[in-house]
Amino acid sequence: MIRNLLAIRLSAMGDVAMTVPVIDSLARRYPDLCVTVLTVNRLVPFFSWMPENVKVKGIKLNDYKGICGLERLFSELKAEKYDAVADLHDVLRTKYLKWRFRMSGVPVKVIDKGRASKKALLGHGITGTALKSSFSRYADVFRDLGFVFEPNFVRAFDNSMEDLSVVWKAVGEKKTGDKWVGIAPFAAHEGKVYPLDKMRTLAECIAMAGCKVFLFGAGKKESALLKTWETQNVMSVCGLMNGLKDEILLMSQLDCMVAMDSANMHMASLVAVPVVSVWGATHPKAGFLGWNQSADNVVQLEMECRPCSVYGNKPCRYGDYRCMRNISNEQIIGRVFKIVGVE
């Protein structure tokens, strides 16, 4: 019987966020099971609201470089006497750990990322069949270890229990009747980013309709750019929140989030905020739509070239990212106004 389980997902931010609904559901279904999540230090806050039987081991990857570093990491993990390992990542580092655990007699199950089916979807977004979601793929790893459960996660944070003073101090208190909309205009690759000039106009239009708009981003260049977008009802929150947990706590107060295929889409999903997600080079059929997000709030153009890559990291064959450029602001604003109740 498995009582002490190690689950590994080191990166990236959005992918780690997508493990949360599954691990939370597993832990609540099996309260006598101890689940330890291995991830990088900066992503530890994703698991801060988990049940007491979930622990997190945060690491700095640079501390475990090369074979010697991985061997040292394995020794640290082995000392915890795990009964089984769920590899939710399947990259070179975790392959080494898988091999070492199996050599020591510990069963390891590994995620099936569906690489072949995702590759087959390229250029067939219109006619292709929607693939299994990442949430289902994560759950399957635990099922392969013998656990019987269905992910039934509702949301992180219970607003009746959380101290929102950190949010009110940073951005002001939300009053009855206020409509708060978040906009997260950035993503890891250009093919996943709605044109920033159009996004700035979109933010202004939403603010003019009486909504308070909060701009989310990371990095000095992004923060500096979003600062120039600020108006009376448009506020950049870059640098205002003290860490990932507080940023998600702010998101929990939004009525709607506009985001790309990015970590921010998944972060807002964890607190049950409706997300208007904008898709270009990638496609929601690949299985990366946020937890419990409605397909009705997906904004995209059905083009024969989409998706051109699974992760959005390939240059546009036409050189202009028309899959994003040709989406109108009205398409996005219409979904936002419907969600927040603006006529």
Residue ranges per domain, the chain? 4-144, 165-340
Q: Is-contact 161 171, C-beta < 8 A?
A: no
β-bridge partners, 256: 181
Nearest to 147 by CA among 49, 277, 31: 31
The domain covering 165-340 belongs, at the CATH homologous superfamily level, to: Glycogen Phosphorylase B; (3.40.50.2000)
Encode pLDDT of 265-300 as tens digits: 999 999 999 999 999 999 999 999 999 999 999 999
Q: What angle do CA 300, 302, 306 make, to 5 degrees?
A: 95
Q: Sign of the C-alpha dihedral, residues 266, 267, 272, 278?
A: negative
Encode pLDDT of 240-273 as tens digits: 999 999 999 999 999 999 999 999 999 999 999 9
Tokens of 227: 């600062």
The domain covering 4-144 belongs, at the CATH homologous superfamily level, to: Glycogen Phosphorylase B; (3.40.50.2000)
Q: Is-contact 254 4, C-beta < 8 A?
A: no
Q: What is the pLDDT of residue 89?
A: 98
Q: What is the pLDDT of residue 274?
A: 98
User: How far is 327 from 64, CA to CA, in rounded Å?
Assistant: 44
**pLDDT over 70 for what percent of the chain?**
99
Instruction: Give the three-state DSSP class for 184.
Output: strand
3-state DSSP helix/strand/coil % of the chain, to nearest 5: 40, 15, 45
Domains 4-144 and 165-340 share a fold: yes
φ/ψ of 102, rounded to 5, equals -65, -35
Encode pLDDT of 264-273 as tens digits: 999 999 999 9
DSSP state of 316: P
φ/ψ of 318, rounded to 5, equals -95, -15
Q: What is the pLDDT of the chain when averaged over all its residues? A: 96
